[in-house]
């Protein structure tokens, strides 16, 4: 039934390639099927003005799509001098989500910027960004511990994300682009490894969804994220 | 328990004042307690480029806060030359929500802009904007019918919105600013008059929320929106 | 002769509603007939860089029109990323005019921002803004005295403003939109309560005006402003 | 009494050098003493969108100061990405003033842009710009007639401008920078060769000015502009 | 002598990976040692305004660095709302260089945009961009021929680029970042496969360079580019 | 053969008028034939952030064209809110070139801004800007010495620039606009008075150039710059 032949509750092939580039404290290429996002974590020994002198750290995210990561070329945001509303929305979501997994006082007065740049898009770039961004953040924390700048990791839980939706009347997990562009409802869910919710964003595209559909999508997301949490753990345990 | 003395499932005093200003096709002052938003609906006999010649209409929204609608003055976005991320996010939400209540082919090749300008903020400005914006949109449709530009209303359902959250461990309805700034979780829900969901946006502020909390908040939103739908109907039925 | 049936030297109905919103140190809704402007005065305990450490204060103004305050919708300046030339001109005029009524050393090293947001436009928004902005400024000074931050008011005179023009060959006072859009000459005058001039800005729209017309308009403005000064005083004396 | 030793009613040395640069249809270097402004008039065979197809022309102006035209270097507006409020105000004034001297229907559907670039500033750059801009505009009209694009000149009157002010209690004509920075009141007046007023902009800098001071300044401007009109005529009559 | 142990006339390891992403008409990952740039060629069936209706095509380039492609994170240009001067300079160079290899009339009225996005920087990103961008352009032309939109390739020569410089007194080929940041002189050369020059840009960083040094660098560039031309040919001949 | 009748190795008439305006520490009108650029040098007693506290100075340049310095009017960059790529490229070149002639430690912690504003363009504005900018910089250094702010000049060499190109198959010196717009190759060369190269920027416009053409152009530039160096010296030796 799904264009890809997947089962309704089946994720795409997930790959998390650590140390994809050499400069960043954390650098992860995350792949959800054909969606490929390069997530880097950059540590800066200063915080934004509103936090200065408070002994607390900060995590923020920026998101971008390479102009030809998509089927038809999109204008380069740097050239137009403006980030689109969609971009702003997504990078705010990624930042909020990852901040939910870290203890800002344990991080200390430093900032981590998670850059999520989409090399190839095929649906689900924001959920891939959160899932891969968490791994980059974890690697950056390890780097700080190895350098002796942190005694213990300020992370207090894993964070991962997946999309769910109603596609041709059926709740499905991890929509790819052909599904996403046709789905009646699309919901992005962010959870931690304790099975609790960090963010739920559901939007009716075609027709409004009923309470039972909301519940079914939520349940599907719970199982998908549990699997992504395992993928993250395996990637981080590999040397 | 709540700073305002309200019950957990109690809305603030809701007021919908139609024809608040004289130029717009629809002009509504919506009040959720001390939150006051002026919503105007402006009809333009043209559509954005991507819709031209397709016989379909468009509804979009813009949102702004007067600089001193808040406790401390915010910089004017027009003077800074840029809308904030939060503004962009909110106006996209308002537009998407209201588009879910209207048949674009029945609207015909014209655009409606819903401007939501916050005169005074006390929490819940986006849910008030959607709820009041719908009434302004309905008035604009009536204006078009009175002018003979539309035979029948293209609206196929009412749209209203409310926030719910976990405040000091208890699920509460329609948070005001003192609650909002302290809540552990905040969720904005948009529904139609058939009891179906148009948008669900839940964010863990303090700690991640459990599935049972998500379910309790959703249920609370369902009852609150049903009441807002009645307020809208009464306002629209008044002459 | 005038579209509104007013006498040439007759003001529109003037209303000054204090405490229109609750957050600002001064908040006044000013109405010149159907023109309605919300003027708020916000006190900030710092001054622009060029004044720092000099023991002197500053008053500045910002002006905006809600997109549908006018007959046809104007683009939102925040969305276009730029204030129009007209906006810049008007807010500079409001700021200069109000600074003429206050002793900057007595104000001390703090800034007051007067925000003038037009809810409904029907001609004369800049003169209404100055007239209402003065009352908001006065309320903010009272607030500072009540809080014990100022011993005495730094205001040394009232400031009010009105437009005059040549409409169908006759000098008239306080033009509304139908007159303004047809007037041959339009002049905005700002004066203090000692009957002296703070600003005179006359523009020939249709044909250049003669010296005797200039003199007649000036005389008309003197009497109109005297009346506005009385309105301000009454509003401020009310509890 | 005046720093320059001039009489109260004495203009600075006025020079109008036509054909100062070779590309523009009109190119005039105007000097009011040490104030030097290059005014060019550029003809374009199209009009702004709001005038298209109406058979009428348009005249607009742009103003700029070279960064080191002043005593201390000002930031380059092109580099900052924004024109200052003062710049916008001045170029709107120049445009409005020159439009008052031309018949837009006789001009036909074409636009003239008057660029006024200040090479050296010593007070009165806006009045010099208007006075020199008129001569550049006149030369551009002659060019169009010589090319056979216009049968007769669409100009129906000369336009010139001068500043007047109250300096140390005395009304003076054509203020230079040392006077301008100390003057209690500054007024810019634009008139035509019929002795009628096009624009009057008076601002109290130090103290508000009385009606008799306003009248004295106006009278002084009348005589100064009459003299500038003669300078323009002589310059235009020279080959 | 060189930090990498290379001979003065030795290129870094060159890799050209075609079809690196799936959406673009041409997509090449170019590696000059640790410098990795993703070059995509996007074909659009329209041309910029100044070329419309002339039957000629256009090739343009855009360049960007991912924020953490470098040792310390650079601000994202899209977020700052402005491309840096260096970015503008580089993308103009890439565009000019690639236009020199193509017959615009044979291309027909369509545009090709070459996007060069630096994933990892280690010196020479602009020369890698030109060298890889040519291969992406060639693949895009093949795509157009396969689709039947072009009968024959409009390319009339290969284009490649390399940097040369004076490092510790010795002319060296293809500088990496440690060399580049210390070099006294840096020169970027673009040539075609006929051994002729398209662009020469030499800059003295430390001390001005003598004529004999200029000649030695030029000779070094000639041999390096000949080798890059072979790499391009081999990559394009592989299936 | 050349449109101007000049010999291939003949410069246009060169004029360097010092003290062209009165405010700047150095102010030079440079003329290369009909190309006229006003170069001012402004000294500021502070340096950009990245140099603060290091005891070293800085020289930077800004470039602009008056809108009607050219045959058809160009949009004003300040009004468009953006400098063009070409402008950015040129001002970076001017700044780099002049920095090569000055000892930053001897200059001390102060900045010099060289503003190059084109009053009339006829080809070669960037080379004229560098050549005239050097004279303005030298005058500014003299001003600092006269004021006792510098003991000795921090300049360690003269800097001048000229263009060379291939025009109708022949290498020519100092191209004017008719040549420049038709040239097959255009090269800008910057050298010092020791005959060494500071910058070489050659671009094939029509067809790629051979090594022997590159060598011939370089030789032509060497002789032209030697002559410009003499012009600078004579201008600076005049009182």
Contact D42, D113 (CB under 8 A): yes
**What pLDDT, on the 0 to 100 scale, is given for residue F17?**
98
For residue B130, being part of any structural domain is answered with yes
For residue F186, being part of any structural domain is answered with yes
For residue D80, being part of any structural domain is answered with yes
**Quick one: which H or E segment has residue F49?**
none
**What pLDDT, on the 0 to 100 scale, is given for residue E124?**
98
What are the pLDDT tens digits along chain F (239 aa)? 899 999 999 999 999 999 999 999 999 999 999 999 999 999 999 999 889 999 999 999 999 999 999 999 999 999 998 899 999 999 999 999 999 999 999 999 999 999 999 999 999 999 999 999 999 999 999 999 999 999 999 999 999 999 999 999 999 999 999 999 999 999 999 999 999 999 999 999 878 999 999 999 999 999 999 999 999 999 999 97
Contact D94, D137 (CB under 8 A): no
- Residue B42 main-chain phi, psi, to 5 deg: -115, 125
**What pLDDT, on the 0 to 100 scale, is given for residue A145?**
97
> Which residues of chain E neighbour A78 with C-beta distances below 8 Å?
64, 76-78, 82-83, 87
Q: What is the mean pLDDT of residues E114-131?
A: 98
What whole-number distance in Å separates Cα of residue F117 and Cα of residue E212? Answer: 35
- Tokens 């530039």 — which residue? F221
pLDDT value at C238 more than 80? yes
> Which residues of chain B neighbour A194 with C-beta distances below 8 Å?
208
Q: Which two tokens stand for residue A20?
A: 């994809």
In sequence order, which ranges of E60-111 are alpha helices (DSSP H)? 77-80, 85-99, 104-107
- Residue D8 main-chain phi, psi, to 5 deg: -55, -35
pLDDT tens digits, residue range C64-121? 999 999 999 999 999 998 899 999 999 999 999 999 999 999 999 999 999 999 999 9
Give every strand in the sheet of F111-120, ordered side by side: F14-18, F26-32, F35-44, F111-120, F58-65
Per-residue pLDDT band at C1 (split at 50, 70, 90): confident
Q: What is the mean pLDDT of residues E73-98?
A: 95
**What pLDDT, on the 0 to 100 scale, is given for residue D205?**
83
Nearest 5 degrees, angle CA D177-CA D180-CA D185? Answer: 170
**What pLDDT, on the 0 to 100 scale, is given for residue D81?**
87
**Quick one: which H or E segment has residue B238?**
none
> Which residues of chain D neighbour F19 with C-beta distances below 8 Å?
none
What residues contact E184, with CB distance under 8 A and at least 6 apart? E165, E166, E167, E169, E204, E205, E206, E207, E209
For residue B230, being part of any structural domain is answered with yes
**Quick one: which H or E segment has residue E219?**
helix E211-237
Q: How many CB atoms lie within 10 A of CB E103?
A: 14
**What pLDDT, on the 0 to 100 scale, is given for residue E205?**
83
Which of D191, D200, D203 is closest, CB to CB, to C96? D203
| Average pLDDT score over chain D | 96
Which of D79, D115, D120 is closest, CB to CB, to F67? D115
What whole-number distance in Å separates Cα of residue D9 and Cα of residue F62? Answer: 40
* d(CA E120, nearest CA chain A) in Å: 6
What residues contact E61, with CB distance under 8 A and at least 6 apart? E91, E92, E94, E95, E98, E113, E114, E115, E116, E129, E133
pLDDT tens digits, residue range C119-171? 999 999 999 999 999 999 999 999 999 999 999 999 999 999 999 999 999 99
**What pLDDT, on the 0 to 100 scale, is given for residue E239?**
76
pLDDT tens digits, residue range A150-200? 999 999 999 999 999 999 999 999 999 999 999 999 999 999 999 999 999
Residues of B with CB under 8 A from a CB of C: 21-24, 27, 34, 36, 38, 40, 42, 44, 62, 64, 66-71, 73, 76-79, 81-83, 87, 113, 115, 117, 119-121
Instruction: Please give the share of chain A, as a percent, with pLDDT higher than 70.
Output: 100
Q: Which two tokens stand for residue F232?
A: 């600078």
Q: Which two tokens stand for residue D116?
A: 């006024």
| Average pLDDT score over chain E | 96
What whole-number distance in Å separates Cα of residue E166 and Cα of residue F211? Answer: 20
Judged by CB atoms closer than 8 Å, whether chains meet at C22 and B42 is answered as: no
HSE toward the beta carbon, residue E25, CA cutoff 13 A: 26
- A99: nearest CA partner in chain B: B205
For residue E25, being part of any structural domain is answered with yes
pLDDT value at C239 more than 80? no
Q: Map residue F113 onto helix, strand or coil.
A: strand
pLDDT tens digits, residue range B41-63? 999 999 998 899 999 999 999 99
> Which residues of chain A neighbour E137 with C-beta distances below 8 Å?
none
pTM, whole model, 2 decimals? 0.92
For residue E65, being part of any structural domain is answered with yes
Does F125 show up as a binding residue in the annotation? Answer: yes
Nearest 5 degrees, angle CA E22-CA E23-CA E29? Answer: 55
pLDDT tens digits, residue range E3-15? 999 999 999 999 9
Which of F89, F196, F214 is closest, CB to CB, to E89? F89
Q: How many CB atoms lie within 10 A of CB A181?
A: 11
pLDDT tens digits, residue range D97-117? 999 999 999 999 999 999 999
pLDDT value at E207 more than 90? no
Q: For chain E, what is the domain count?
A: 1
**What pLDDT, on the 0 to 100 scale, is given for residue F81?**
87
Q: Which two tokens stand for residue C62?
A: 């910002």
| Average pLDDT score over chain C | 96
**What pLDDT, on the 0 to 100 scale, is given for residue D20?**
98
Judged by CB atoms closer than 8 Å, whether chains meet at E68 and A115 is answered as: yes
Per-residue pLDDT band at B1 (split at 50, 70, 90): confident
pLDDT tens digits, residue range D12-52? 999 999 999 999 999 999 999 999 999 999 999 999 988 99
Judged by CB atoms closer than 8 Å, whether chains meet at B96 and A207 is answered as: no
The CATH number covering residue E49 comes to: 3.30.230.70
For residue A9, being part of any structural domain is answered with no
* d(CA A68, nearest CA chain B) in Å: 20
Spatial CA neighbour of C214 closest among D201, D229, D173: D201
- Chains touching F (at least 3 CB pairs under 8 A) are D, E
Most C-contacting residue of B27, B73, B116 (CB-CB within 10 A), to test interface: B73
- C82: nearest CA partner in chain D: D82
- Chains touching E (at least 3 CB pairs under 8 A) are A, F
Residues of E with CB under 8 A from a CB of A: 21-24, 27, 34, 36, 38, 40, 42, 44, 62, 64, 66-71, 73, 76-79, 81-83, 87, 113, 115, 117, 119-121
What whole-number distance in Å separates Cα of residue A158 and Cα of residue E137? Answer: 43
pLDDT tens digits, residue range B182-237? 999 999 999 999 999 999 999 998 789 999 999 999 999 999 999 999 999 999 99
Residues of F with CB under 8 A from a CB of D: 21-24, 27, 34, 36, 38, 40, 42, 44, 62, 64, 66-71, 73, 76-79, 81-83, 87, 113, 115, 117, 119-121
* d(CA E70, nearest CA chain A) in Å: 6
Contact B115, C118 (CB under 8 A): no
In sequence order, which ranges of chain A are alpha helices (DSSP H)? 77-80, 85-99, 104-107, 125-146, 177-180, 211-237
Q: What is the mean pLDDT of residues C196-205?
A: 96
Does A124 show up as a binding residue in the annotation? Answer: yes
* d(CA B223, nearest CA chain C) in Å: 30
* SS3 of D100-147: CCECHHHHCCCEEEEEEEEEECCCCHHHHHHHHHHHHHHHHHHHHHHC
pLDDT value at A76 more than 80? yes
Q: Which domain range does residue F60 map to?
A: 14-237
> Which residues of chain C neighbour B42 with C-beta distances below 8 Å?
67-68, 73
Q: Is the sign of the CA dihedral F140, F145, F149, F150 positive or negative?
A: positive
Q: What is the mean pLDDT of residues E79-104?
A: 95
Beta bridge partners of C115: C40, C62
What residues contact D4, with CB distance under 8 A and at least 6 apart? D12, D33, D176, D178
**What pLDDT, on the 0 to 100 scale, is given for residue B206?**
77
Judged by CB atoms closer than 8 Å, whether chains meet at E42 and A68 is answered as: yes
> Which residues of chain C neighbour D202 with C-beta distances below 8 Å?
197, 199-201
What residues contact C234, with CB distance under 8 A and at least 6 apart? none
For residue C3, being part of any structural domain is answered with no
pLDDT tens digits, residue range D136-168? 999 999 999 999 999 999 999 999 999 999 999
């Amino acid at each position: 039934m799904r264009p890809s032949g997947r089962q309704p509750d089946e994720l795409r092939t997930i790959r998390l390639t650590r140390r994809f580039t050499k400069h960043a404290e954390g650098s992860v290429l995350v792949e959800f099927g054909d969606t490929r996002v390069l997530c880097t974590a950059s540590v800066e020994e200063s915080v934004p003005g509103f936090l200065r002198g408070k002994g607390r750290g900060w995590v923020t995210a920026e998101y971008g799509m390479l102009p030809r990561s998509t089927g038809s070329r999109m204008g380069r945001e740097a050239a137009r001098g403006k980030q689109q509303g969609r971009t702003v929305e997504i990078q705010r979501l990624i930042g909020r989500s990852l901040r939910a997994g870290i203890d800002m006082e344990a991080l200390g007065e430093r900032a981590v910027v998670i850059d999520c740049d989409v090399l190839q898009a095929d649906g689900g770039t924001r959920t891939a960004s959160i899932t891969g961004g968490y791994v980059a953040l974890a690697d950056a924390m390890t780097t700080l511990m190895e350098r002796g700048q942190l005694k213990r990791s300020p992370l207090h839980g894993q964070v991962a994300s997946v999309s769910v939706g109603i596609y041709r009347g059926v709740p499905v997990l991890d929509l790819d682009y052909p599904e996403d562009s046709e789905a009646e409802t699309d919901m992005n869910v962010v959870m931690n490894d304790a099975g609790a919710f960090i963010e739920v964003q559901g939007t009716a595209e075609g027709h409004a969804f009923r309470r039972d559909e909301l519940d079914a999508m939520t349940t599907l997301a719970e199982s998908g994220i549990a699997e992504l949490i395992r993928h993250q753990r395996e990637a981080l345990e590999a040397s």
